[in-house]
Amino acid sequence: MDHILFSITTEHDPRWLLAAALICVLGLSTAMQLLGVAREQTGTRRRNTTMLAAFISGLAVFTTHFVALHGYQPGHEIRYAVWPTVGSFVLALGSFGLAAGIVMVRPNRLYRGLAALVALAGVSGMHFAGIAGLRLAGSIGWQPGLAALAIGGALTIAMVCGGLIYGPGLLRRVLTASGGALAIAFLHFTAMSGIVVTPRVQVDTALTVSGVVMTGVIVAMVAAIVGVTAFVGWMSWASQSGALRRLREAMDAMPDGMAYYDAEDRLVLWNQRYEELVPELSPALRVGVTFREIIELGLAQDIYSDARGRQAEWFQDRIESRQALTTTREQQLADGRWIRGSDRRTAAGGIVTVCTDITDLKNDARALAEARDVAESASSAKSQFLANMSHEIRTPLNGVIGVAQALAKTPLSAQQEEMLELIHSSGQTLQVLLSDILDLARVESGRLELASDVFHLGRAVREAAQLYETSAEAKGLQFFVEVAPEADRWITGDVVRVKQILTNLVSNAVKFTGTGFVSLTAAPGPERAGSPTLRFSIEDTGIGFDSDTRERLFSRFEQADGAITRRFGGSGLGLAISRQLAEMMGGDLDCESEPGGGSAFILTIPFNAAEAPAAAPGVVAQATGEEPATIRVLLADDHPVNRKVVEMILAQANVDLTSVENGAEAVQACRDGDFDIVLMDMQMPVMDGLTATREIRLNEAAMGLGRTPIVMLTANALAEHIASAEAAGADRHLAKPFDAAELLDLVATMPHAAAATLAA
């Protein structure tokens, strides 16, 4: 250690040592900055920048070494052998070139440490080659221990600096460069303290240069280092300045206003759009103005419409929300414009504010809301129109069908029976068409709801097919119904809608088949998404259709072509409604066919198996052989035709019928008399059927009377009408036009069922 300190303090001029240290730190820092630039580049530019970094670092270390040697004072003139000096320069350049290549391959800690070792190994070779090129008063040798210490210590310092300290940023570059300078200094002074000079016996004939020449070379190298450093610094400044200019241009090109406030909420940077959004505040925008001052100015100029009358409260809320950075605010200005502002905090604690003019969005939203209200009003009007038309059409249709059914029970000639059958079939056709139109309207409006009841699938399939078995036999068709044992069980679903789809498909098959067969099969289908399905197949040997027809067959009011419409009739609504019902159930409806080769319609719905429901208690029956008791019936209907139809149908049974024209009369009749069943119209003058039903139920509760069965016998057939009737207290809902047999069955069974329930 004494030798090292002696070498530093006595044998070297400190001014040269300080210059050497500055050159080393400056050159290595510049080289590391160039390496950082090179990592962002590609191709030839990356290679050239890496080579420049290697050259600058090698040149800096070589210059550092010989500047330090210039400060060495052995007591006599020093000359420099040319070829050893040139060799030391080559060693420096080569080692730093290899080190730069290693860092560029993979800049992690391992590779950085390896690069530092390679560089210091080259520096060590440069040092000892350069010392060997000195021409002193004798031959130069080294003490092995100090030489080994110099190399080992320098390598250790370099590896620590390269592996642990080196990284992005000016501070890391300077620290790494300083560590490199320290490693080189340790190598130099430790090795110089171990020099042993032996008097020379022979005359040295090697080519040498004087210290003056070497000084000129060093000055040129220092100038090159300073020039490159200045150039790199200028390029870095120009790059940052260009990046800032491009950033400002990008900000000004943004459609939204943007501003940056520092950690103390002072304005630092903003774009042109930020000024344009609130031109009243534009004169106040300057670097250093606080957000609080901007808001206070806006309040003073009455810019914020929702702050009027509560400025202090509004101001406090605005400042707190900005500090919390929790919400995006929408602010209406005094001129009617809307501004949306959002604040985001940066890593340095500043706030980026983005403002957007959403006036057009607000206007569009208001227009959409108005359009929605108009559409909802139109939809409501359409629904009301459909309900009214349904009521008005069903009322006379009920008279047509009801009178035809009553007339069928009287003696008729063959011609009269034929005419009556035409009336009845035409009425049924109108009823089906009316139901299809209402179903389609409910599906489109989203108001059609599916029930979820337990029913026996096999029974429902057979009942749906049985309706058209007679028609098929009349045309000479073979008619098959097959239900697989796995499907002949209880399931959960909407039995009414399932039967509606099946009857529609079977009806079409019978209608469009002249010869051959019609078949309906029900069986388990393939699983979908891991859930079981049911597959219904309706096949026929009818006229069929081509692929073009298949694409439009499920559209509304569509059949195969105009000729079919004229020949077979129909509205073309059935298949459209059936497919929509299938999709509502979570399934689908598709078909396969070819002209003249028959058709196959395939319905697939989810298979929700269920347990059989418990058996319902039996109805008390009349004793065999006894005369059935007279049933007292109250009919409330304002339409004389409907009253007459009911009277004609119930004349076939043992019924004591009392008729009234409105709900008020019905309530009074129930208070004055005792009835077994009430048939109540829903839409009547003075008092409607729903109000009358509620009054009857209240009277029963107040007087402690038993519950009289009430059937809503009405042309109001929509789902909401049924729900309203149930809520009012009605027991059943029978839509007009109704089947005479169904009405007779209700009148005959409901009073006995009510009596059985009361007795239980």
Q: What digits encode the pLDDT tens for the residues 409-462?
A: 788 888 888 787 777 767 766 776 677 666 666 666 666 678 788 999 999 899
**CB count, 10 Å around CB of 514?**
10
- For residue 139, how far is the Cα from the chain centroid? 83
Token digits of residue 235: 């390029």
Q: What is the CA radius of gyration of the chain?
A: 51
Per-residue pLDDT at 377: 79
Q: Let me know: does 8 contact 189? Beta carbons within 8 Å.
A: yes
Tell me how far apart the alpha carbons of residues 370 and 376 are, in angstroms, rounded to a whole number.
10
Under DSSP, the state recorded for 165 is I
pLDDT digits (tens, 9 = 90+) for 339-359: 888 888 887 788 888 888 888
Query: In which region does residue 601 sit, left (phi positive, over 0), alpha (psi from -120 to 50) or beta (all else)?
Result: beta
Q: Evaluate whether 707 touches 754 at the Cβ level (below 8 Å).
A: yes
Q: Where are the beta strands (DSSP E) in 85-151?
A: 134-135, 138-142
- Taking CA 243 as the corner, what is the angle to CA 241 and CA 244, rounded to the nearest 5 degrees? 65
Global model pTM greater than 0.75: no
Closest CA to 271 of 287, 290, 288, 254: 254
Instruction: Round to whole Å and give the CA distance between 501 and 577.
Output: 8
- C-alpha triplet 198, 204, 208: angle, nearest 5°: 110
pLDDT beneath 50, residues of the chain: 1-3, 6, 557, 560-571, 616-625
Contact of 508 with 528, CB cutoff 8 Å:
no
Euclidean distance between CA atoms 718 and 704, whole angstroms: 33
Q: How many of the other CB atoms lie within 10 Å of CB of 73?
A: 12
Q: Are strands 588-593 and 531-540 parallel, antiparallel or unpaired?
A: unpaired
C-alpha pair distances (Å), 39 with each of 103, 158, 241, 496, 616: 10, 22, 20, 74, 85
In 407-530 the beta strands, taken as DSSP E runs, fall at 453-456, 478-483, 490-493, 517-528
Q: How far apart are CA 757 and CA 398, in angstroms?
A: 32
pLDDT at 429: 66
What does the pLDDT read at residue 760? 53
The predicted structure's pLDDT at residue 534:
94
Cα→Cα distances 84→71, 131, 202, Å: 19, 9, 19
Is the CB of residue 280 less than 8 Å from the CB of residue 311? no
What is the structure's pLDDT at 373? 85
